[in-house]
Structure 1
Amino acid sequence: MKVLLRLLCVITLLIPSLEADKCEEHEEKITLVSPAHEIDARSCPLITSVHKEPITWYKNDSTTPVSTERESRIHQHKDKLWFVPAEVEDSGAYYCSVRNSTYCLKIKIVAEFVKHEPNLCYNERTVFTQRLLTAGDGQLVCPYLDFLKDENNELPQVHWYKDCKPLLLDNVNFAGVTNKLIITNVNTAHGGHYMCHASYTHLGKQYRVTRAIKLITLEKSRNTKPEIVSPANETMEVVLGSWLQLICNVTGRISNYVYWKWNGSMISTYTPVLEEDFIIVENPLNRRRSTVLARLNISAVESKFFLHPFTCLAKNTEGISTAYIQLIHPGKQESFI
């Protein structure tokens, strides 16, 4: 009888462990292609505010975690996966996971690292496309640099190139502000390939970071209503319960009134789950034009948020512009009219 009781106790203790071993798996839909021979860091798509357990990284679904030794070329530091530097052979699948005694969740991401094309300072597969309206000022953003921020939350100096040649930042035609390139009076001649360069020091050694941007210029409409750069009446895949930030980007006068609505109501109706904040990015070349960012922070995506789109509204004395984002479940092709 005692032996039977002991066996039951052991089985009872093993049940949570067995449940945790059944890891729920998701896959990141976007494969980020980056230049080889540069330092790189990847973030885990898991929301740390929801999953309090530490994140662990694995390569190719191995049972052995990635090293946490900072001297290792590929290692985990805090929640990020670092490549110091990345090499072509590092391309492949990586998994980040969280687990406790009752559950296990892991997400697969695919990283790809490529060499520059012959006679070019970039590879076309690493290019980010950005669009600017003509007949006004605009800005390019050097993307995916947050991992380079120092202890003061500041980015390193960014150098800009066009068609692989240094770009003169004369504060008349071009100006550099943190990770942004301000372009005065955008015209079709500004189209082309831009490169932004930065450097990062790891254990006393400097490594470069480059991003390639293809600028496409768009003819500016005569309409003087506010111009919503993004969103663009689109859908976004999100996981139920996750944290999410939606950004409405309006370029124009500082007097533009920009705000979000959901299901016909102001966001203040749904606090504290939904919170708005606003950022104004002044243009140092023309202070009469600015970028207004209305950020909508969703602390946890609820099922009702899939029923109606989130709509951004931008007003001025000439009229009102609107654009929406419809949240959809991962892997589902839902339509919104």
Structure 2
Amino acid sequence: MASFISTLLFLFLMGGASPAGGQSSELTEPMCYDWGESSEAGVSVLEGESGWLSCPLFSHPSVYNYTSTQSAGHTLFWYRLLQGQDLEEPITSSSRLSKDRERLWLQPATSDDTGQYICMLRNKSSCSKIAMRLTVLRPDEVVRGVDCEPPVAVAATSEYIGLQGGKRLDCPDLQDAAKMADGEPTVTWYHVRRELSMCRQYPFWNNERQQNGASLRFYVMLDSYQGLYFCTVHYQRRGKMLNFTRSINVTAIYPPTVPKYPSILRPPKDLVSPVKPGSKVRLNCTGHFPIIRPDAVPEIWWTVDGKTLDKLADQRFSQTTRQVDYDRGDRFMENVLLIQDFQSEDLNKEFNCSVKNERGFETRRVQLREDVWLPSVELGCGLGVTLLLMLLLFVVYHVFWLELLLLYRSWFGTDERHTDDKEYDVYISYARNSEEEQFVLSTLRRVLENELGYSVCIFDRDSLPGGTITDETLSFVARSRRLLVVVSPGYASQGSQALLELKAGIDGMALGGHLRVILVQYKPVQRHSWVRELRRARVALALVRWQGDKSRELTSRFWKRLRVELPVRRVGREEEEEEEEGGNKEAVLMRLHSQNSTNSQTGLISNTVKDPQKVLNCAS
């Protein structure tokens, strides 16, 4: 561009100089300097609309000014090379093609006007020419966002309006059309919101934006007023109605009252970043740049020891800048400093991120330290496995705690028969009625003796005739390791034998600790109906509930829970030897049977021994 201006200036000066010796320049034909085709001066016009071409030679007023060139004797000529032709032809003014100063007007443009146009500025001693391209588009060739948009061949201009602020919009090129019009042009406005696929023609149904003459006035700018605005200019020239359409992209920005100083969002203050020597290090700097002018370019950069990267003689350092966000005119820029093969001596360098705009400047330092390796993956995996195992063990214990407890007791539990002088493992206390007696004799006694191998004492079965009930009861309870109390609604009435058994068991458990009481709930009992001794026992002891048919199997929860409370029992050689000595016990059983028969005849005892084969050592 500088060479273009200097050449034009040289030709302009040469054109104004006189030939040597004072001879007339009319004797020679001036050489015309051809600048070729200008890529920046291409024009697109919609078919049927008015348009114009401006000679690019006058795009630099400091070199060529139309008024000064005319005064110096220069004349502007127009030529065109239409599409499909090989020869240039001069353009003469007509009702459709007209010249106005440095412009060539097409009122209106047709599809045949497409081609290359040349403007030539010459006088007797100098000549310059430049070409440009004109494209006439049909309406169906114009790309539109939504169907309701009017076709526009010219790129949209941009306007920025502060929120809650005001501004006036003028249709682009309106003043140029007014110079060519025979009267005052009129303007029609449209508003298009592409995200809603919605087009609105003025009026816009509110008082916050109104059309004043040919202009559109914004009194209060809102987010919803953003979008594309189209203005169609209508004017009359030489009896013809002409028009052209332009578009304006309106964007809402933060108002000028908002602080406009730049700020650094990342890295935060006092950040210490761990780095590993020999690795690739990325330092991220993100800055916020409030809008001041739409064309203002924000600045964000890194310095190393006070030097920018272009002055740093180290190819390991490079940076990239990009825009990461755009919010109502405010820009968020990111600059990444990339350090290849980070060295230990780089830790002593000073890394600063800086941002700058027209209002201010800010810088922030990034502190680096060497990253100490920690086996984070290994620790994380180990912790995860540990937590998983703990969770698994918790679930297993929650579901199988009874089985685990029984397994532990079978391995490490102590058989109490080797540590005390008790005769019975279990003494069963229950209410004396037919239903509970049936449960005790046919279920509890059978399983405890036959299936689990415990020695069971039942007063009605194992007591000898002729004794005192109180003394016999206390003796049996004292000679047992467990007192199993079958709790039911009819249990422990005041003064009954069951109450005596319960009191004896609780006293023995509280005083000597040589007896433990087990509560088995055969049927639900209301709390208010419990006697005082039973309430005391319920507070201190766990309750094993019988659940009917669900509890009959030996693998049910009832029997597992009951085995936890009963003494540890292992079936070994001692039990086998006791079974072999069963013949020695038969004589005792025969003697007991004979005595029970005698007592029943004399009426001293009303209860008979129901199963003589199960009485072992209750006789004294």
Which TM-score tier does this pair reach, normalised by the shorter chain?
0.5 to 0.7
Aligned to 2:157: 129
Aligned to 2:110: 87
* Segments ≥4 residues shifted beyond 6 Å: 12-15, 151-154
Distance of 2:212 and 2:204 partners within structure 1: 10
Aligned to 2:185: 156
C-alpha displacement of 1:80: 2.4
C-alpha displacement of 1:126: 2.9
Kept after mapping to 1: 8 A contact 2:163/2:220: yes
Q: Is 2:169 aligned against 1:140?
A: yes
Aligned to 1:166: 201
Distance of 1:41 and 1:13 partners within structure 2: 34
Kept after mapping to 1: 8 A contact 2:190/2:201: yes
Q: CA RMSD in A?
A: 3.8
Kept after mapping to 1: 8 A contact 2:110/2:136: yes
Kept after mapping to 2: 8 A contact 1:20/1:99: no
Change (3 A) 1:153 1:85: closer
Residues 220-248 of structure 1, C-alpha deviations (whole Å, 9 max, x = no match): 461279x86466369xxxxxxxxxxxxxx
Aligned to 1:48: 66
C-alpha displacement of 1:66: 0.8
Distance of 1:33 and 1:114 partners within structure 2: 7
Alignment of 1:270-285 (within 5 A): none
Distance of 1:121 and 1:152 partners within structure 2: 26
Alignment of 1:1-337 (within 5 A): 16-17=28-29, 19-25=30-36, 27=38, 29-45=40-56, 46=58, 47-52=65-70, 53-60=74-81, 62-69=87-94, 71=95, 73-117=96-140, 119-123=147-151, 126-132=154-160, 133-150=162-179, 156-163=185-192, 164-168=199-203, 172-177=207-212, 179-220=214-255, 222-223=258-259, 229=293, 232=296
C-alpha displacement of 1:101: 1.6
Residues 149-171 of structure 1, C-alpha deviations (whole Å, 9 max, x = no match): 24899852322111353211779
C-alpha displacement of 1:103: 1.1
Distance of 1:34 and 1:83 partners within structure 2: 9
AA aligned to 1:161 is: Y
AA aligned to 2:53 is: R
Distance of 2:296 and 2:27 partners within structure 1: 48
Kept after mapping to 1: 8 A contact 2:167/2:218: yes
Q: Which has the larger radius of gyration?
A: 2
Residues 28-70 of structure 1, C-alpha deviations (whole Å, 9 max, x = no match): 514333322112222323231342222111112954311212x
AA aligned to 2:209 is: F
Kept after mapping to 2: 8 A contact 1:129/1:216: no
Distance of 1:28 and 1:202 partners within structure 2: 31
Aligned to 2:527: none
Change (3 A) 1:218 1:111: farther
Kept after mapping to 2: 8 A contact 1:55/1:98: yes
C-alpha displacement of 1:116: 2.9
AA aligned to 1:67 is: T
Question: Identity across aligned pairs (percent)?
Answer: 20
C-alpha displacement of 1:321: 5.7
* Larger displacement relative to structure 2 (130-139 or 202-211): 130-139
AA aligned to 1:112 is: T
C-alpha displacement of 1:98: 0.8
Kept after mapping to 1: 8 A contact 2:50/2:105: yes
For this pair of structures, how many residues does the alignment match?
A: 224
Aligned to 1:306: none
Residues 1-27 of structure 1, C-alpha deviations (whole Å, 9 max, x = no match): xxxxxxxxxxx968741x334445562
Residues 106-152 of structure 1, C-alpha deviations (whole Å, 9 max, x = no match): 23222223233483443365341313232311333311223212489
Change (3 A) 1:76 1:207: same
Name the TM-score, length of structure 1 as normaliser.
0.55
* Greater RCO structure (CA 8 Å; 6+ sep): 1
AA aligned to 2:221 is: V
Change (3 A) 1:190 1:229: same
Distance of 2:180 and 2:118 partners within structure 1: 27
Q: Which has the higher strand share?
A: 1
